[in-house]
Amino acid sequence: MLKWLALSLGVIAADQATKYIVMHELALHESVTVTSFFNLVFVYNRGAAFSFLAGASGWQREFFIGIAFAASAWVIYLLRKHAREALFSFSLSLILGGALGNVIDRLLYGAVVDFLDFHAYGYHWPAFNVADSAITCGAVLLVWDSIRPRKPAAAVARQ
């Protein structure tokens, strides 16, 4: 289980390091063009994914922190129970690291720091960060793990 927690810590470290750089190199709401379809920006998101509940009166901060801590406790339980299932545990570790990376922002700044801005034809995907990417990749891998074909238990026991 320790290797999975180490992976989560690596996600947290990468997330917090990139946010630190953005916060110290860009002014709030500043945008730097990197390519024709990608900008670096510095924005705060007080909501969840896609700024869900961002305009609420402030109660959402504690709500999202509570959800993240509850989900993290559940993920740690699952990691302990399924530590030998590599893809499942890898996926959960990404989700755990991403969730805690964003919780750190909410605790320190009252909102999540977002800075990756992809766009095309005048449409901008909502800005996101490394933690969001880890959560998304982890969720996709969990789906993949749940639908991929598995060897029957008898075949695995013979190996």
* Active site residues per annotation: 114, 132
> In 3D, which of 73, 72, 95, 92 has the Cα closest to residue 84?
92
Contacts of 11 (CB under 8 A, 6+ apart): 93, 94, 96, 97, 98, 101, 130, 131, 134
CA distance 32 to 129: 15
CA distance 53 to 61: 10
The three-state DSSP-derived secondary structure of 95-135 is HHHHHHHHHHHHHHHCCEEEEEEEEECCEECCCECHHHHHH
* Tally of CB atoms within 10 A around 120: 10
